[in-house]
Amino acid sequence: MSPLTPSTEERHSRFELRTLLETSRLLIESQDPDFVLNNLLLITMGKLLVPKGMILIHKPGDDAYFVSKSKGRGWLAEDDELKAEFPLSILETSVIYGEQYADVFETIGIDSGSVLFNLKTSNHHLGFLCLGPKGNKQPLTEHEVEFIESLTIISSVAIANSRMFQELRHINRRLDRKVHDLNTLLELSKDFNLMVDQNEIARSFKFAMLGQMLIRTFFFALDVQGEKRIVSISGIKEEPDAKQLDKLFQLDDVNHVDGTEDCPFLEENDIKLVIGLRFQNEKIGLVGVGLRATKEGYGDSEVNFLQSLGNLALLTIQKTLLLEERIEKERLEEELNLAKTIQEGLLPNPVPTIDGFDIEAINVSSRQVGGDYFDLLKLQDEGHLLAIADVTGKGVPASLLMANLQSMLHALAPLNVSLEEASGRINDIIHDNTPADKFITFFWGKISSDKRHFKFVNAGHNPPMLFRKGKSKPELLEEGGVILGAMPTLMPYECSEIDFESGDLLVFFTDGVTEAMNPDQTEEYEEERLIKCINKNREKSSAEIMTAVIDDINKFSDNIQYDDITMIVLKVN
């Protein structure tokens, strides 16, 4: 043989080297683990003429292996599972022989004449290549072992790479799904933001369920101020009643229905998932869905999308409710402002003047409209009628009753009817036409045409205080009868009369003056403070006396007003 002619052994080595190079290129370029493992087994079995071969793949975290590939008879079949945990020394050994590790071979269930090749990367154990005895019963040569070792190293890298590519593809698919879901939610949020009608929101939610999620059976329920109701529904045989809705709202926030729920409604309609929707940590919404048209289940991604979609619809509905509430509030505010304007128009403004008297009056409502009332009318005989009243309650109901009282007083004033008789008529009308819990404290009196006498009737009102010149203790004008509206006029009202003298001071007021509270609400202003304040300022004008009293009340209450305040201050010149 010529020295330049390669020997059989050299040709054989070159062939093996080319085989390794071609195989490595083929396997490393492959992104399919199944292809890599299949080629590894076929090449090694073909090279060594081995009739039996098997590849075991480790299941991380499970102390188990599954059979990925299996050729020949007598060993585990493909997809079989083997429970086994091997020591670290085995997992780090590249080639494992039966005579050294009989227990390992016994665990796997292979012949002791077989050979195990470890499939591993620098960081991870992947599994084993199991090769049975050669067809000629000869042991593997050192050269053959080196070849298979090289091939397993290349295959292990290829398996790790293909797994990584598969994981990347899986991640990309999930990312694509997430992007799609986010785009869908973004588009839906744009649509929802333009909606102010709940029916339109419900329709859009339904189209999203049918079109995006391919869900034909679902329900969407809301709890609005304790009232649970269905907002959108599809494919449900019969809407759940109030008791069923209460049960549904008691379920977990994410409930995969497994048929054991104590709620027949879910089973009857084949509902597979119920999702609770929360607003400010309170469950106020519920989405229940049946199977998708694709028969796919509901993973975390689908649950998150449904939760986001439900929250989007829920927040939009909340927005419409708040908008409706604001519109209703603005409407009420507008009506109350109009009522206030009307009520202010019922009170004398400016306060009429009376020759021989310095007179001032004020009404301060604790709300936009109130139940306090005062009036001052000039009569046909040149006399004058003064009135002050306080309707029970506050707000619109009290203001309506006050308006009725004002109209009755103006209707009776021109008639030739005595104060006591007119008081009885007013009482009977109010008693017959108002609820039992509505009544009026009322005081009215008539200044004679010569301005020297004052007749009055007190129907349960805070007695006006008459301060005589030179006296600090006032006389109380108490005579009259029961409050208006409490009972029919069984006994006539009594009328009393006083004579005016120069320097007299007469103060009318409602209980909002004497019952004003301190900031701690532990003490009332009371008559003693009122008398003290009046005496301190009695030499001043009526307007100044009234201002001094109001200022003293505000100081006492720290400008916190709980009731209407009405006063009339009259000084005799």
Domain ranges of the chain: 8-166, 195-322, 347-572
Stretch 194-222: mean pLDDT, rounded? Answer: 84
* Distance in angstroms (rounded) separating the CA atoms of residues 103 and 122: 26
pLDDT band at 23 (very low <50, low <70, confident <90, very high): low
Q: Give the pLDDT confidence score for residue 433 in this predicted structure.
A: 87
* Distance in angstroms (rounded) separating the CA atoms of residues 484 and 356: 32
Percent of the chain with pLDDT over 90: 39
Q: Each residue of 123-132: pLDDT tens digit? A: 889 999 999 9
pLDDT band at 71 (very low <50, low <70, confident <90, very high): very high
Q: Give the pLDDT confidence score for residue 484 in this predicted structure.
A: 94
Question: Where are any strands of DSSP class E within 290-393?
Answer: 357-364, 372-378, 384-391
pLDDT band at 4 (very low <50, low <70, confident <90, very high): very low
Give domain 8-166's CATH number out of 3.90.1150.10, 3.40.50.150, 2.10.10.90, 3.30.450.40.
Answer: 3.30.450.40
Which own/partner pairs from 447-453 qualify as long-range (CB within 8 Å, at least 24 positions apart)? 447/354, 447/357, 447/383, 447/384, 447/385, 447/386, 447/500, 448/383, 449/381, 449/382, 449/383, 451/354, 451/355, 451/356, 451/357, 451/500, 452/499, 452/500, 453/497, 453/498, 453/499, 453/500
148, two tokens: 């298979």
Question: At CA 555, angle to CA 552 and CA 560, rounded to 5?
Answer: 115
- Which residue has better confidence, 514 or 194? 514
375, two tokens: 């009036």
551, 516 Cβ separation under 8 angstroms: no
Residue the block writes with tokens 């009972």: 487
Establish whether domains 8-166 and 195-322 are of one fold: yes
Stretch 109-113: mean pLDDT, rounded? Answer: 89
pLDDT band at 572 (very low <50, low <70, confident <90, very high): very high
CATH code for the structural domain at 195-322: 3.30.450.40
Q: Give the pLDDT confidence score for residue 331 in this predicted structure.
A: 82
* Cross-strand bridge partners of residue 395: none
pLDDT over threshold 90, residue 112: no
Residue the block writes with tokens 């009339």: 568
pLDDT band at 5 (very low <50, low <70, confident <90, very high): very low
Q: Give the pLDDT confidence score for residue 60 in this predicted structure.
A: 81
SS3 at position 272? coil
What are the Cα distances from residue 255, in Å, to 72, 184, 196, 236, 249? 48, 24, 31, 18, 11
Q: Give the pLDDT confidence score for residue 259 in this predicted structure.
A: 65
Q: Each residue of 443-500: pLDDT tens digit? A: 999 999 999 999 999 999 999 999 998 899 999 999 999 999 999 999 999 999 999 9
* Distance in angstroms (rounded) separating the CA atoms of residues 349 and 353: 11
HEC-encoded secondary structure of 350-362: CCCCCCCEEEEEE
Q: Give the pLDDT confidence score for residue 37 in this predicted structure.
A: 87
Question: At CA 38, angle to CA 34 and CA 43, rounded to 5?
Answer: 150
What's the mean pLDDT when you consider all of the chain?
A: 86
Q: Looking at domain 347-572, which CATH architecture does it have? A: 4-Layer Sandwich (3.60)
Edge-first strand order for the sheet with 81-83 is: 81-83, 64-71, 53-59, 125-131, 115-120, 95-97
